[in-house]
Chain A
């Protein structure tokens, strides 16, 4: 099963996720579906490897990284892809901090501490830079298999789906070496909008 064959379908939490509503809902959703349709015909571009993975050249041009604008404490590129933000005093945006926590609850038992990979799962901090955002999302929602390397599908897991952008921007920041290993020392406050989104998604 390649990255572009979402045979299990996106879970309801994904579609309900308020993360999708932050920017003009229509545009984000249509971009997602367009990307999914394009991806259908493509083989997986990042194979599941262990201990070695496509390295990231942080000096190169990465269109999915630079902040174009922010919306209630969430940062986006000019293509409306979520991204991280590190302030001049080193404080990270809330999503990056939140992503650190959620990653080390849900993902690190395979992908290792700080996205560094394990003996059997890839260095996912690099994947977050090398992969297209929508492919990344698709892989988390639907899973992927490559022989005995299997990524599970998290589409029906609220603990992952409600924090998918958090995990993504955290890993992208790690892959770009914008933050060091371990817990980010300083962070922006959690905005009301982020709290509202979280409550709506987690149903609390």
Chain B
């Protein structure tokens, strides 16, 4: 009897949770809210709101502002659920609940206690890409990998769980994605030899539902040797270990610190895995599967349906973690469920997201030179593999050799800063880096919890171009073509927003919020916020009025490489100091700036 009771209550719980997720879906579908960091499950970052248009956006004004009280790099964006805004900060990962009905009064504030020892094991600043919402709870994934569920009304802790161990270099920068009755959680630490994984926790109590590693035995990576496919063929047995030497997969990297998307019809989640550890390719022979891979997994079980490894045996730190943007578009007369991904390696990929078939792989920055392109002939043994140019191969040039002039640099033609997609223009709006590098790998030894890098890099603006370090581009994912490209002085490190008003917004590292025409790219508005922008633009309504919000607060990878400016060692002495230093344009400071049209 007791058993039966437990069983039925379990069923009731499941039904309740499914309904709760329906309510999140409803919030996501309501353009008046900003209920998920990625705008929607498709990661389109597109809003149906159309009060602000390409005709009137030039009149935009600052409506209100708020300091976060934190100086480090501010990535991600606030959420808006009903009358409440949920605003996060970098370490120490404060969450503010702001009541928009009371001019943003702080309804509650949550500040976790974290060991400061986690700070220096976070590669590249203590950023955090924001909270998530589902089932009346706010989910915060802290720097120290603690996942905490807060009551959205009171800020009380409902449950918390440790996803990793910072003493081994396991940390977190990403948001989580609520799906069905679970939240999907990733991990950082690829520069510390962490073996990447994705974990699903049950929303109800924080218990673990499944964990899928990026490499390791089949039981760890949740792949079926027959059913899971890579470019249409079964992955076979031991695919997560047989492209590694010995036990190297145990410190193999492939971390999962990017964005996640979800197709409710297929019940598949999509994400990418990061670089294999170390950055010295000679120390890890083989394809290093499944680092640098697009993953499609069942949301309930974690089993992989299909995978695609973009950069086998990485030689440049081209993490594959950037967002997977889902869209429905017509290719050759057939409407297909597509997945489009702008990889660090400089290639824009479009795949069929049901089957994993590769449809398009083209450079989205003409400067990209490490590859001549991806073999698209299905009959070729090289099908799906990028063809590496020997001159730029840090593997072929070998250890202790400085390979020069490689484009893009390790930070990629695009990093995590998410692109937007407008179903109206059928264009992707992509923030990009226009930076190249010299790369010299050398031997390193592994110590748990210590950096495991093994390469020296020098980065500089793409030579023989406009001299800037970034572009903001419009991309046709069906054909793989750049429609227009706006040169920027610095890398564009801000997530874009497209709206039904035919406007696209993005931020710049100098601190400008910019609005451009979605069709032509013409600049329509810009405003300089108090600090450089590495956050993502969001929009919502309150009292029937449309607002646009952006976090300022320079930092992150961009704040490291660009703070003092970049130099090209190959240009000779005369050019040293010839490039812009970000510190000449902006200073630290976390602030939310909210814009609206005048009344």
What's the Cα separation between A180 and B438 when bound, in Å?
Answer: 16
The answer, yes or no, to whether A117 is at the interface (CB within 8 Å) is: yes
Can you name the residue of chain A whose Cβ is closest to the Cβ of B442? A101
Among residues of A, the one whose C-beta sits closest to the C-beta of B556 is A119
Q: Which of A73-125 contact B (CB under 8 A)?
A: 100-106, 108-110, 112-114, 116-121, 123
Tell me, yes or no, whether B583 is within 8 Å of chain A by CB: yes
With A112-B561, A157-B447 known as contacts, the answer to whether A182 contacts B116 (CB < 8 A) is no
Indicate whether A119 sits within 8 Å of B564 (C-beta atoms), given known contacts A51-B588, A105-B453, A106-B453: no
**Complex interface: chain B residues within 8 A of A110 (CB):** 120, 560
Q: In the complex, how many angstroms separate the beta carbon of A18 from the nearest chain B beta carbon?
A: 16
For residue A100, which residue of chain B has the nearest CB?
B456
- Chain B residues, CB < 8 A from A119: 72-73, 125, 554-555, 559-560, 563, 588
Residues of B within 8 A of A23 (CB): none
> Are B564 and A117 within 8 A (Cβ)?
yes
Closest to B120 in A: A152
Given contacts A105-B442, A113-B561, whether A148 and B72 have CB atoms under 8 Å apart is yes
Cα separation A157 to B569 with both chains bound (whole Å): 29
- The interface residues of chain B lying within 8 Å CB-to-CB of A131 are none
Q: Is the CB of B563 within 8 A of A112?
A: yes
Instruction: Please report the C-alpha to C-alpha distance between residue A183 and residue B308 in the assembled complex, in whole angstroms.
Output: 36
In the assembled complex, how far is the CB of residue A117 from the closest CB belonging to chain B, in whole angstroms?
6
Question: A142-185 CB contact bits vs B (8 Å, 1 = yes)?
Answer: 01010011111010111110000000000000000000111101
Whether B450 and A101, one on each chain, are in contact in the complex, defined by CB atoms closer than 8 angstroms, is: no
Give the chain A neighbours of B456 by CB distance below 8 A: 100-105, 183
Q: Is B253 an interface residue (CB 8 A)?
A: no
Asked whether any CB of chain A lies closer than 8 Å to the CB of B567, the reply is: yes
User: Mostly helix, strand, loop or mixed at chain B's interface?
Assistant: loop
Task: Judge whether B455 is part of the interface by a CB distance below 8 angstroms.
Answer: yes
In the assembled complex, the CB of A71 is this many whole angstroms from the nearest CB of chain B, namely 24
Report the bound CA distance from A203 to B443 in whole Å.
12
Residues from chain B with Cβ under 8 Å of A185 in the complex: 569
Contacts of B568 in A (CB 8 A): 182
Which residue of chain B is the closest to A145 with respect to CB atoms? B116
Q: A110-B120, A113-B459 are in contact. Are A120 and B555 (CB under 8 A)?
A: yes
B123 at interface (Cβ–Cβ under 8 A)?
Answer: yes
A159-B454 Cα distance, complex, nearest whole Å: 9
Q: Cβ of B444 and Cβ of A159 under 8 Å apart?
A: yes
**Contact partners of A158 in chain B: CB under 8 A:** 445, 447
A185 (CB) vs chain B CBs: closest residue = B569
Selected contact of A118 from candidates B91, B445, B458, B560, CB within 8 Å: B560
Q: Does B119 contact A (CB under 8 A)?
A: yes
Whether, in the assembled complex, B53 has its beta carbon less than 8 Å from a beta carbon of chain A, the answer is no
The answer to whether A156 touches B573, judged by C-beta atoms less than 8 angstroms apart, is no
Min CB gap A178→B, angstroms: 14
Q: Are B116 and A109 interface neighbours, CB within 8 A?
A: no
The answer to whether A191 has its CB under 8 Å from any CB of chain B is no
Measured in the bound complex, the distance between the Cα atoms of B456 and A143 in whole Å is 23
B162 neighbours in A (Cβ, 8 Å): none
- A29 located at the interface, meaning its Cβ lies under 8 Å from any Cβ of chain B in the complex: no
The answer on a CB contact under 8 Å between A112 and B560 is yes
Is A202 in contact with chain B by the CB < 8 A criterion? yes
Measured CB to CB, the nearest residue on chain A to B568 is A182
A105–B444 CB distance below 8 A:
yes
Closest CB in chain A relative to B75 CB, distance in Å: 13
Smallest Cβ distance from A44 to chain B, in angstroms? 15
Give the contacting residue for B569; candidates A151, A183, A203; CB below 8 A: A183
CB pair B124–A109 under 8 Å, yes or no, is yes
* Given known A-B contacts A105-B442, A151-B120, A159 and B576 have beta carbons under 8 A apart: no
Cα distance, A108 to B457, chains bound together (Å): 9
Tell me the B residues contacting A by CB distance below 8 Å.
71-73, 91-92, 116-117, 119-121, 123-126, 191, 279, 402, 438, 440, 442, 444-445, 447, 450-451, 453-459, 554-555, 559-561, 563-569, 573, 576-577, 583, 587-588
Sample (19) of A-B pairs whose CB atoms are under 8 Å apart: A50-B588, A104-B457, A105-B453, A105-B456, A110-B560, A112-B561, A114-B567, A116-B564, A117-B564, A118-B559, A118-B563, A120-B125, A143-B120, A149-B119, A150-B119, A151-B120, A158-B447, A183-B458, A202-B445
